[in-house]
Amino acid sequence: MLQLLGQTLTNVASFKDVSVEFNKNKITFIRGTNLDADPSQPTGNGVGKSMLMGCPSNVFFFSPPLAIKKKDKKQLLGKSSSITERLIGLDGHKYEVTQRANKYTVLRDGVDMELRTVPIAEKFIREELFPMTELMYYTTAYVSTQRTFKMQESS
């Protein structure tokens, strides 16, 4: 059984160094309050919940997170940015997959697998570590990425 254990974001949007652990329960709730909002009208919008929970799909489907609401839709992974997903793979080993702007690092049980080029890392992730299509992933664990999918035709 594939199990997401947690993730760490470094210098991604407003997340400077954030680590989230997904506990062993079946559901993890993430909530937040936008501290920059007008104090007389507090809101949970604009906190980064969708960005945070969109990270697994960005890492496993090889796309950097986008600033969807920004005019120019700049990518949010810069030179000093990274997203690390921690999981137990189908083979029972613990993995850490770190996505940077131009490369991946994959550790198995703490040992670097030395998958140095993006195509080699992508092939390993797609075929062995996380062998799901995006549609399979989103029908198993819905995490919003603000992308349109066939199963999500309307709001």
- Across the chain, mean pLDDT equals 76
User: DSSP letters along the chain, please?
Assistant: --EEEEEEEEEETTEEEEEEE--SSS--------TTS-TTS--STTSSHHHHHHHHHHHHTT---B-TTSTT--BSEEEEEEEEEEEE-TTS-EEEEEE-SS-EEEEETTEE----SHHHHHHHIIIII----HHHHHHHS----S---TT----
Q: What is the pLDDT of residues 57-89, one digit of tens each?
A: 778 877 766 554 444 345 567 778 888 999 999
**Tens digits of residue pLDDT in 6-47:** 999 898 877 889 888 887 666 666 666 667 777 777 665 666
